[in-house]
Structure 1
Amino acid sequence: MTSTNTPSGFIGNLSTEQEAKLRQLWTILLKALEASGVEGPPQRKQSVSGTDSNVSGRDSTASTRADSSQFTKSLQETGLNATQIRVVQQALANMTTDELHQGFLTSFKNENPDVLMLRYLRARKWDVCNAFAMMVAAVEWRVKEMRVEEVLQNGELHALKQEQNSVNPGEQKDGSSFLAQSRMGKCFLHGVDKIGRPIVVIRVRLHKPGEQTEEVLNRYIVNVIESVRLLLRQPVETATVVFDMTGFSLSNMEYPPVKFIIRCFEANYPECLGVLLIHNAPWIFSGIWRLIKGWMDPVIVSKIQFTKSVRDLENYIPRERIFKELGGPEDWEYKYIEPEQNENKRMDDTTTREALEEERRDIVKELLTTTSSWITATENKDNGQVQTTKARRNELAEQLSANYWKLDPYVRARNYLDRAGVIPDVGFQPQQVVKMEKELEIEQHETAPAHVLSA
């Protein structure tokens, strides 16, 4: 995909107005991080908007009011009106300085931070304040509700150890039910579609309500999403999802996980879904679909297509990459690879991890400073400085990606995709044309049919 066919609103094809919106979103984030003391550890647990979460007394109240007043003033200086400022402050009301800082550092992982920011802007139709509120809510969900980093640190080996723990039956069941989903291949990644998007296949008939708790199922879903997300790299920023409904019956239907997946696509991982194919759905699904459709944002609904045959799938996936179970010619089937006892050994090396995390903080600190300089240079119409700071920001984004891949084995437990070689030990580097296993080889395609690009 070249710059000539990069969709509008993506890096490489931003209008003057869209780039201005990106700078404005960065400005608000910089103000919030400045208020939270991003350059050093926070001195107390205070929400960025000025609500003190664990400090009481007259002095702290006065300080809180001063902090709030100062933050409001800094937002006013950006040109926001009173309504917009309230949107920003309400978004930050439940976030402590620690949470905002750490959530920001961990949310973009191997991505260019601009890519992440643009996802929220597109999802909120370029309304900057609403995009900021959406971004903060997603960070809050990651840090406080879902605890995504903890989910990734535990992973499949942790579940295996739980399964082997006969002393604690509850923990044993959680571990067993988590792994059972991977072992049966309820959800897996296989190949790419016509424009290079990773394909995630969900075999709905394998889901049995009650065989796993809602918490275990949600952790499994997040583990899959976060793993696939590591394979998204410009120009490929979205994934294709195939809900294989072959053999589906009402006994497979469970609404809470459906709602959770919808929430993930809409709120917590916006603009990560390219197209969702509901394949071979039986007639009994039509009533269920009418109900589910009503829960969805129209943007998500527009990305959903129904397919019945291989010919339908070929509109999105090359025929030779459609495996036999879906009716295609490819001789491939999912086979789970069990965790190895020492596969997460590097996670015990806290010295290396802390050094890499410190390196990451330094890169982020320079990125924030350079972003501020870019914004100032644009306001001053200093075109030379604008180009200099843009180039430096691109370099820092690449440094952040490289840093993440060095840090990855120290903070994320290995999973099936690592063992299968889909995520190489050196990190997923499409610019080096890393080849996957034959059946999961990922290629970047320059062109695709118009109906696929618009899906």
Structure 2
Amino acid sequence: MVMPKSNDCDECELRLLREFQSRVADLEQDEDTCLRFLTAREFKIHLAEEMMRNSVEWRKTIGIDNYLNWVVSEAKEEDHIFKITGVNHNGGPVLWVPLGTWLARYWVERGKQEETTLYGYRILETAFREMKSRNNKKIVAILGIETLTYYKVSHVPTLKVLYAAFQSLEQNYPEILQSLIIVNAPWMFSIAFSFIKPILSPKTLGKIQVFNSEREKWLPALRQLMPDSAIPSDYLKSA
């Protein structure tokens, strides 16, 4: 567990953490998880408790603990690639999601909206468990928007899938992100971003950097956060 800054602040927040742990003891959550939820609600215990209880219920309702057993078609997995590419400079995982290449609209239009939404949850849970295995060091995520088209972002049911993923990030996986770097974003990305932006907290928004296709700008930003070995190889070509 990493507690914040000054000694006075440490003592106050540690006291609040202990009080919060006592109030949610029935949920059997570890100290780091309690701290993440408490931090997300600015150490307001009643809000953090409501958030955690809702999240625990959500996990039970959708069966997230069995996420590896969810049956997803092979073709669908090929169309929705994601990968843990390595470790960032702070010791946490690097998650790469080449979202621009996804064929989410294709599957949503064929009645697979729920399955596509669950796939988004699988990505979050995979990254979360990787973070837990690395002593709760936070995630750096790379969202690749190359090949994104207006056709893909102009479909409201598909945008709702993206909305559900980011909403779950806020509500059920608080404080797992160190940074989210969005690269190769064309102008139409603003359509999708304006759709999800209202549900993101100011703290989360402060962790997001958006870059267009100018590699000379986004590659140094990635290298500040991770070694080249964790950067997708295609992003290093001609670097």
Cα pair distance change 1:287/1:118, threshold 3 Å = same
2:207 to 293, 303, 328: 303
Kindly report structure 1 stretches of 4+ aligned residues shifted beyond 6 Å.
Answer: none
Deviation at residue 326 of structure 1 after TM alignment: 1.6
Q: Which amino acid aligns with 1:188?
A: K
Task: Say if 1:189 and 1:199, in contact at 8 Å, map to a contact too.
Answer: yes
Which amino acid in structure 2 is aligned with residue 205 of structure 1?
G
2:223 maps to 1:314 = yes
Query: 2:126 matched to which residue of 1?
Result: 227
CA deviation string 1:9-58 (max 9, x = no partner): 8xxxx71111111111122224xx3xxxxxxxxxxxxxxxxxxxxxxxxx
Q: Which amino acid aligns with 2:123?
A: V
Which of 224, 231, 240 aligns to 2:140? It is 240
Aligned position for 1:214 = 113
Alignment match, 1:138? 55
Which SS does the other structure have where 1:232 is aligned? helix
The structure-2 alpha-carbon separation of the partners of 1:181 and 1:206, relative to structure 1 and needing over 3 Å to count, comes to farther
SS at match of 2:130: coil
Equivalent AA in structure 2 for residue 316 of structure 1 = L
Any idea what SS the aligned residue of 1:247 has? coil
Larger RCO (CA under 8 A, 6+ residues apart): 2
Partner of 1:19: 14
Displacement, 1:192? 1.7
CA separation of 1:292/1:225 partners in 2, compared to 1, >3 Å: closer, same or farther? closer
Selected match of 2:176 from 272, 297, 300: 272
CA distance in 2, matches of 1:226, 1:320: 23
1:66 maps to: none
- Percent identity for Structure 1 against Structure 2: 22
Listed as ranges, the matches of 1:90-129 within 5 Å are 104=27, 108=29, 113-129=30-46
Check whether the contact 1:323–1:329 (CA below 8 A) recurs between aligned residues.
Answer: no
- What is the distance in 1 between the residues matched to 2:173 and 2:88? 20
Instruction: Map 1:282-301; keep pairs closer than 5 Å.
Output: 282-301=186-205
Q: How many residues are paired up?
A: 223
Where do 5+ consecutive residues of structure 1 fail to align? 34-103, 160-174, 331-455
Preserved CA contact (<8 Å) 1:200 1:241: yes
Mapped to 1, the partners of 2:130 and 2:52 lie a distance apart of 21
* 2:231 counterpart of 1:327: no
1:189 paired to 2:185: no
Q: Is the CA contact 1:321–1:328 (under 8 Å) kept in the aligned structure 2?
A: no
C-alpha distance in structure 2 between counterparts of 1:181 and 1:18, whole Å: 45
- Kept in 1: contact 2:101–2:145 (CA 8 A): no
Q: Is the 8 A contact 1:319 1:329 kept in 2?
A: no
When Rg is computed on C-alpha atoms for both structures, the one with the higher figure is: 1
Identify if the C-alpha distance between structure 1 residues 180 and 8 changes in structure 2 by more than 3 Å, giving closer, same or farther.
farther
Deviation at 1:328, TM superposition (A): 4.7
Q: How big is the shift at 1:125? A: 0.1
Counterparts of residues 51-66 of structure 1 (less than 5 Å): none
Deviations 1:54-94 (A, max 9, x none): xxxxxxxxxxxxxxxxxxxxxxxxxxxxxxxxxxxxxxxxx
Q: TM-score, length-normalised on structure 1?
A: 0.45
Tell me the C-alpha RMSD between the 2 structures: 2.6
Secondary structure of the residue aligned to 2:140 is strand
Shift of 1:124: 0.3
More strand by share: 2
1:7–1:235 Cα change, 3 Å = farther
CA apart distance, 1:139: 0.8
CA shift at 1:147, angstroms?
A: 2.2
Secondary structure in 2 matching 1:246: coil
- Measured against aligned partners, the alpha-carbon deviations of 1:280-318 in whole angstroms (never above 9, x if no partner) come to 101222344334323322111111012342233222222
Q: Secondary structure at the match of 2:131?
A: coil
Query: Is the 8 Å Cα contact of residues 278 and 306 (structure 1) preserved in structure 2?
Result: yes
Kindly indicate whether the alpha-carbon contact (under 8 Å) linking 1:206 and 1:252 is maintained by their aligned counterparts in 2: no
Report the alpha carbon displacement of residue 131 of structure 1 after superposing the two structures with TM: 0.6
From the superposition, tell whether residues 117 and 328 of structure 1 become closer, same or farther in structure 2 (CA, over 3 Å): farther
Please give the alpha-carbon distance, in whole angstroms, between the structure 1 residues aligned to 2:227 and 2:171.
31
Cα displacement (A) at 1:224: 2.3
Partners in 2 of 1:292 and 1:221 — Cα distance? 14
Q: State how 1:434-449 maps to structure 2 within 5 Å.
A: none
Alpha-carbon shift at residue 242 of structure 1 (Å): 0.9
The DSSP-based 3-state class of the residue aligned with 1:275 is strand
Shift of 1:262: 1.4
Seen in structure 2, the aligned counterparts of structure 1 residues 328 and 196 have a Cα distance that, compared at 3 Å, is farther
* Contact 2:101–2:146, Cα closer than 8 Å, also in 1: no
TM-score (norm 2): 0.82
The 2-side partners of 1:313 and 1:133 are apart by 36
- Determine the structure 2 residue equivalent to 1:147: 63
Cα displacement string for residues 172-212 of structure 1 (whole angstroms, at most 9, x for unaligned residues): xxx42xx3343345222111222222111111222221415
Query: What does the per-residue CA deviation read over 1:330-371, in whole Å, with 9 as the maximum and x for residues that have no partner?
Result: 9xxxxxxxxxxxxxxxxxxxxxxxxxxxxxxxxxxxxxxxxx
SS in 1 for 2:91: coil
Q: Which residues of 2 match residues 337-416 of structure 1 at below 5 A?
A: none
CA distance in 2: counterparts of 1:217 and 1:19, whole angstroms: 40
The letter of the residue matching 1:148 is I
